[in-house]
Structure 1
Amino acid sequence: MNEYETEEQQVEALKKWWKENGTSLIVGLFVGVSALFGWRYYSEQQNVHAVQASDLYMQVMQSAALQRVDDKTIDINNQLINEYSDTPYAALSSLALAKFEYEKDNVDVAVAQLELAVKHASDDLIKQISSLRLVRLYIEQEKYTEAQALLNETHDAAYDAQYEELKGDLYNAQGDVEQARLAYDKAIDLQGLAASKWLKLKRQNLGA
């Protein structure tokens, strides 16, 4: 009889525990399983998203390589900007088109593409490269205020030499020879033995 009562008490205790904790246990299990499958679904969707962006980017690159950039190519680039700006391919596509347009002497169009690349770059490295190229074209267009604004932005220390060289170009274009010398000297010091002949020549042309 005592054994029966003990088992009965155990069953009642189990029922009581389940009544008090069963719902939260089921909810917790459901949340855990949902989170696991949700993360897997999210990862798969992200992979699909990146692959789609890569495919579109390759179409732009192929068109540029074959010198066949047309309205369809521009539409693809716009699609990358509008729908895939969270991937590196959007900015890379604009970089490719900027190079293509510049080589065709379409400087204004190249600038517009570089501005898109800077604005939508999801990767710091791509943004730095885009900014440096854009500064060069701004100087070429005599848009000195825009060039200075980009040069004033925070950048990775690894690009200090390139930024100083461009500062020298900007000062020189504006007729500020003294500041240009200082900027070129700093760029040469930062690059050391790797300093290009072109950079050294620009500095030499400004005299002592």
Structure 2
Amino acid sequence: MVEEYLTDRDQEEALRNWWRENWTWILGGIVLGLVLLGGWQYWKVRTANTAAAAAKLYEDFRGALERNELEAANRSLGTLAADHATSPYTQQGRLLLAKKHVDEGKFDEAVPLLQSVANESSDAELAWVARLRVARLLIQQGKHDEALNLLDPEKAGAFAAQVREIRGDAQVAKGNPDAARAEYAAALTANIGGGADRMIDRSLLEMKLQDVGGDKKAPEPAANPAPAEGQP
């Protein structure tokens, strides 16, 4: 009985000693946990408020654009870009305003908006869509070399066929049928793949190739081979 009593006392003393040596670390851990939890909650609330503010500005912008109040639309989009530069709402707003300018033949006003999307969008596909539109407008403006310099087929990934087609259009506009022929043929070959490359009009591409002296089509996409006997 004495041995058990002494053992309990030893354990209690060891616990007190451990607490004296470690209480600051324990308390610090609790405080740190509360700070992190509070910070996470603050971040969630702030993110939600920021998204709501961006959505409100975007709706204001769209409403003004639909009413053809361009001054108000530009003002809302300017605030949206200044306060929410990385928001998808900013890029979508730029695309809508650029389309408005293109519809009205104001290419000089549309190009900077599209270039901003191409340069700043965190969505790689959206950035390429904007870049392709810029290139088409540059061709319309007679800036063929700028369009060619803007579109690098080696970096286009799934948009390679579209890039090649637009480069071919630029070469046609420059009066270089040989270069155009090479671009259109490369576009047809790239179009055999899947993804965004399938978005181009193959028949139109073949017509463009023939117009610049091409007389051969790129091979058609291979059909899926029939499974061998006994295979699923």
User: TM-score under structure 1 normalisation?
Assistant: 0.87
Contact 1:172 1:180 in 2 (8 A): yes
Q: Judge which range, 49-58 or 108-117, deviates more.
A: 49-58
Quote the Cα distance in structure 2 between the aligned partners of 1:198 and 1:69.
Answer: 38
Q: CA deviation at 1:202?
A: 2.4
Calculate percent identity across the aligned residue pairs.
30
Matched, 1:32 2:38: no
Matched, 1:52 2:53: yes
Contact 2:154 2:160 in 1 (8 A): no
The one-character-per-residue Cα deviations of 1:51-98 (angstroms, maximum 9, x if unpaired) are: 2212222332333334x1422210111122222122211111111000
Quote the Cα distance in structure 2 between the aligned partners of 1:153 and 1:46.
Answer: 37
What stretches of structure 1 of length at least 5 have no aligned partner? none
Q: Judge which range, 138-147 or 22-31, deviates more.
A: 138-147
Matches of residues 112-151 of structure 1 in structure 2 within 5 Å?
Answer: 112-151=112-151
Quote the Cα distance in structure 1 between the aligned partners of 2:59 and 2:188.
Answer: 37
Matched residue, 2:217: none
Matched residue, 1:195: 201
DSSP-derived class of the 1:147 partner: helix
Root-mean-square deviation (CA, aligned residues, Å) is 2.3
Which structure has greater helix proportion?
Answer: 1
DSSP-derived class of the 2:122 partner: coil
Q: CA deviation at 1:171?
A: 1.6
Query: Cα distance 1:153–1:58, how it changes in 2: closer, same or farther (>3 A)?
Result: farther
Q: CA deviation at 1:151?
A: 0.5
Contact 2:139 2:170 in 1 (8 A): yes
The one-character-per-residue Cα deviations of 1:18-50 (angstroms, maximum 9, x if unpaired) are: 122111112122222322332232123222212
Q: Structure with the greater relative contact order (CA < 8 A, sep ≥ 6): 1 or 2?
A: 1
User: Residue 94 of structure 1 aligns to which amino acid in structure 2?
Assistant: R
Quote the Cα distance in structure 2 between the aligned partners of 1:29 and 1:21.
Answer: 13
User: TM-score under structure 2 normalisation?
Assistant: 0.79
Query: Cα distance 1:61–1:153, how it changes in 2: closer, same or farther (>3 A)?
Result: farther
Query: Cα distance 1:3–1:55, how it changes in 2: closer, same or farther (>3 A)?
Result: same
What stretches of structure 2 of length at least 5 have no aligned partner? 193-197, 215-232
Quote the Cα distance in structure 1 between the aligned partners of 2:86 and 2:163.
Answer: 26
